[in-house]
A and B are shown apart, each in its own frame.
Chain A
Amino acid sequence: MSAAERLTRDGYAGLFLAGDASTAGAVYAADGAALEDIVRDERAGDLARVLAAEVLYRCGDGPAAGADVLGPIYARALELTGSHALSGNLWGALWASPSDAGPLGTHLLAQGDAAVPGLVALLSDDSPVRYEGSREAMVGNAQRYRVKDAAAFFLGRVLGHDVEFHDDISERDAEIDRLKASLDG
């Protein structure tokens, strides 16, 4: 089994959230060099690339690839969250707990402007962001976030724009439209 196959088989939960059975350390020990290649390989698949980057962040000094590579990868990871290939928990609770961007959100923000084009492309993505667990899911799911809401939240953080949260979906969409207009200008 290739390193990329093992990453996608184990998924984020198997790599990092299985307690002592988490496999990230073993994957890093066995295929550390291969992980760098996976991060750079556009044919490797978005999920494998972001998981490779996460293992390198957790077990090493972080990916050697620059923000030009990692920015688009982390934006794609947010898109994958809409199909629940990744859990909403990994992005924090957004406006409900702005100080916590979660592991994926933290690494996305670290890419700065390089993540912007990928995030802008998600501002029309209505897919739901679903949270798992108990207390954490109560917080996240109560907001009924969509991928485009999360994209707007992180764009606001990267660009220093004040993007407000609205309970009402139509008001939320209007806020996103205003953000789009400000980016077009």
Chain B
Amino acid sequence: MDRETDRVAEPHQQAAVPEAGPAPAVELGGTLNSGSVLALQRSAGNNAVGSLIAHAGADESLQRALARTAGHAPPEPARFRSPALLLRSQLRSARLQRVVNTVGGEWDTDRYDLKKDDDGTGAAPAAQNWRGVDITLKFKPTIIADAELIGLTQSVTSVVGGKTNLTPGAAARPIPAADAKATGVGTETDEGTAIDQSTTNTNPIYAVENDSSTSLSDASTAFFGENGWRFKDAKGALQEKTASLKDTPRRSAADKDSRQIFETAALATKGAQSGMYYGSVRWGWRTDAAGAFSKIDLVKVSEGAPSSSFLKAAEIWNASKTPSGNKDTVDLPIPDVKVVSGLVNIKSRPGTFPLPVGTRIVITRDLVPPATTGAIKVVDGMHHGLTGEVDAAEWPNIKDERS
């Protein structure tokens, strides 16, 4: 699909925290070649190819080709298309737009339907104004992924009648107003955003139902979805399974100025890449001031580390106890994501690239004098996975994401 069609439709929340876990292990048969790159390009899209630049060794022609494919080179001028071709292309895009690619896999839905005057059990009185969606969200890990378990975890932002309106579970762990950041949609902020889990469950993985869980890798319950995986077993055979999440979010009195917005992230919870995020997507629904009820398109939020809103909610989740039972929660990985706020050139093996303002990175080696450079790794966007050095003069242009 066109990589531009799965970009964030609603500007995504930026904030601060570091990516845990090792760098993606590229499993392409040991060496990079045109066939293996093509395989990755087909499975994960052009942008994901950028993560291979660091693996290109001394082959400068391969480095250049990878950079070109990943979009590090100027795009070619647009070609003329006849109206018929254009229409065909648009129809194809409309059909495929539901699929979203992030660095670690492919997101899709089996169902994603608006529900009006339906409380989740069936028809409800119209006067109660129930609104919501039914969704089965799937994450198919692709070539970058190497994990024996992959869980889906999500944050939720709930507003009813223009006001934050939490469930008892979320009320125990929301982003407070003082820490809230603008989402980029009108005057909306991420106030009230919380990890979505029941009041008794200690595990943040959505499909795990366990009030005494102590590990992210605990078993899932099919009613809520399933964990996935992608790894090679002891005999070298590839084992793959798509992760899924089933949800029927609903709010009453939600006929106007209301919304439930979710960010779902795929997280390796066991195996070689345990602790690594494979990207995140946004979905949900909203009603406007006039009562128009609409589904939020499934869109990519992050190529890798989830948004700052998700990570802030995760930070609060980690520090919280269950509102019922007062039990410790199982911690989510929280990368200390920084953001590029000015001129930053990353000196990488294939060359030196200027990082766009807003690029999300983690510091892998701090700048400590007398050293003249520090080291970073890009954790989101078109340069995801790229590592390299940054000069001291440009180091002040790396800021906390939620500052």
Residues of chain A touching chain B, judged by Cβ–Cβ distance below 8 Å, are: 13-14, 16-21, 84, 87, 89-90, 92-93, 97, 99-100, 102-103, 128, 130-139, 141-142, 144
Contacts and interface: CB of A to CB of B under 8 A. Distances in A.
Contacts of B206: 135
B177 A89 contact: no
Nearest to B154: A134
B163 A131 contact: no
B5 interface: no
Given A21-B177, A100-B325, A144-B121, A137 B248 contact: yes
Nearest to B176: A20
Contacts of B251: 132-133
Contacts of B169: 133, 135-136
Contacts of A133: 156, 158, 167, 169-170, 249-251
Interface centre among A14, A20, A87, A141 (most CB of B within 10 A): A20
A112 to B, nearest CB: 20
A97 B200 CA distance: 8
Interface stretch (B38-46, B60-68, B190-198): B190-198
Contacts of A142: 223
Contacts of B211: 97, 99
Contacts of A132: 167, 250-252
A20 B178 CA distance: 9
A14 B224 CA distance: 29
B177 A20 contact: yes
Interface in B247-263: 247-252, 260, 262
A148 B100 CA distance: 45
A128 B121 contact: yes
Given A130-B121, A137-B249, 11 more contacts: A14-B163, A19-B192, A20-B177, A90-B168, A93-B198, A100-B324, A102-B324, A133-B167, A133-B250, A134-B260, A135-B198
Consensus secondary structure, chain B interface: loop
Given A97-B211, A100-B324, A136 B167 contact: yes
A92 to B, nearest CB: 7
Nearest to A10: B163
B109 interface: no
A132 B158 CA distance: 11
Contacts of B197: 135
B165 A100 contact: no
B154 to A, nearest CB: 8
Interface residues of B, number: 46
Interface in B315-359: 324-325
A141 B166 contact: no
A19 B247 contact: no
B164 interface: yes
Interface centre among A87, A97, A103, A136 (most CB of B within 10 A): A136
A102 B199 CA distance: 9
Contact of A136 (B160, B176, B199): B199
Nearest to A14: B163
Contacts of B120: 130-131, 137-138, 141
Nearest to B224: A138
B19 interface: no
B128 interface: yes
A19 B171 contact: yes
Contact of B119 (A13, A16, A130, A134): A130
Contact of A141 (B164, B170, B248, B260): B248
B168 A17 contact: yes
A19 B166 contact: yes
B165 A136 contact: no
Contacts of B121: 128, 130, 141, 144
B164 A19 contact: yes
Nearest to A97: B200
Contacts of A84: 128, 252
B124 interface: yes
Contact of B198 (A14, A19, A139): A139
A168 to B, nearest CB: 16
6 contacts: A13-B165, A19-B174, A84-B252, A133-B158, A134-B167, A134-B260
